[in-house]
Amino acid sequence: MTATAVEPFHVVFVCTGNICRSPMADVVFRWFAEAAGLGDRVASTSAGTGDWHVGERADQRTIDALDRHGYDGTRHRARQFTHADFARNDLVVALDRSHERILRGWARSEADADKIALLMSFEQGARTLDVPDPYYAGPGNRFWPTLHAVGLTPVLLRPPEYPRLLGFGLGATDLNKIEFGADTALTRAADDIAGLVAKLDAARPRAIAFNGKRAACAVLAAKTLAYGRQSETWRDIPVFVLPSTSRRAGAFWDERPWQALGEFVRVLRDQRLRTMPVS
């Protein structure tokens, strides 16, 4: 793995969705390479193990965090890691051990596997080998513990494990992908209602659950809604409006609507098991 005057040393940073950790690592790494006078000797990019966010900008929180420290993350567009990335790159940097396991599973040769390294392995005396996933990981956020507490997930997942939701028949997305913060800080202009509707039409889920009232009111064109299962469906799909799991909304927290959703899903799962053919 050596750089030449013709061909630079290629590095790719890999996380889950390529909207938080890996684009941040890429942007900062490129800045330091340029500052060290190695801009023409080192080339870098980033990618995700999943395809959920392909084509999207980095999460706004990532862009804002980079901006606060003098970096520009606005040009990033998410993409998925492919086998061709092993051939194109000299070093494949995984942001946590879940990504490392996936990448090693994808490696087609010992040469591919030898290119994989954990980012934190370059930090002498690091307390952890994993770069924490900030998505749904804000201090005091109840999202993951609540999913487990009400039976939606059989185990308590950590934020980096969110791809496992699909294995439990659950999906997650956002109405507003370019802003974050309290509901009062979000603008209607940034809501992608058409994009969310297209995803729901394509997936045709057995139920739709909104984590908080704001998104529910925007999508359902309602001025206000009560928590719990709604009396009206959305295109024949049952709808649940749930108290936000955000720490900011702690004054309105009530687990009972989440428990009702958990019971609804449990019944659906039981029905599915009863109708499965016996081999």
Predicted local distance difference test score (pLDDT) of residue 184: 64
Is the domain of 108 the same as that of 156? Answer: no
Is the domain of 69 the same as that of 183? Answer: no
Does the annotation count 133 as an active-site position?
Answer: yes
Number of domains, the chain: 2
Residue 246 has pLDDT above 70, yes or no: yes
Catalytic residue among 15, 30, 96, 142: 15
Is the domain of 113 the same as that of 165? Answer: no
Is the domain of 44 the same as that of 113? Answer: yes
Is the domain of 155 the same as that of 222? Answer: yes
Is the domain of 170 the same as that of 241? Answer: yes
Is the domain of 170 the same as that of 245? Answer: yes
More confident residue, 176 or 275: 176
Predicted local distance difference test score (pLDDT) of residue 108: 95
18 falls within a domain: yes
What are residue 11's phi and psi, to 5 degrees? -125, 135
As a whole number, mean pLDDT of residues 122-143 equals: 79
pLDDT by residue (tens digit) across 136-145?
656 678 999 9
Query: Residue 249 — very low, low, confident or very high, per pLDDT cuts 50/70/90?
Result: confident
Is the domain of 58 the same as that of 158? Answer: no
The CATH code of the domain that includes 170 is: 3.40.470.10
Cβ–Cβ under 8 Å, residues 219 and 232: no
1 falls within a domain: no
66 falls within a domain: yes
C-alpha R_g of the chain: 21
Q: Which residue range(s) make up the domain with 25?
A: 9-122
The CATH code of the domain that includes 57 is: 3.40.50.2300
Catalytic residue among 30, 133, 191, 214: 133
269 falls within a domain: yes
pTM: 0.58
CB neighbour list of residue 69: distance below 8 Å, 6 or more residues apart:
none
Does the annotation count 15 as an active-site position?
Answer: yes
Predicted local distance difference test score (pLDDT) of residue 277: 62
As a whole number, mean pLDDT of residues 111-127 equals: 94
Query: Residue 2 — very low, low, confident or very high, per pLDDT cuts 50/70/90?
Result: low
CA distances from 145 to 122, 151, 169, 225 (A): 32, 10, 17, 25
Does the annotation count 130 as an active-site position?
Answer: no
pLDDT by residue (tens digit) across 159-205?
778 888 999 999 999 898 776 666 766 788 889 999 999 999 999 99
Predicted local distance difference test score (pLDDT) of residue 248: 74
Catalytic residue among 21, 30, 57, 214: 21
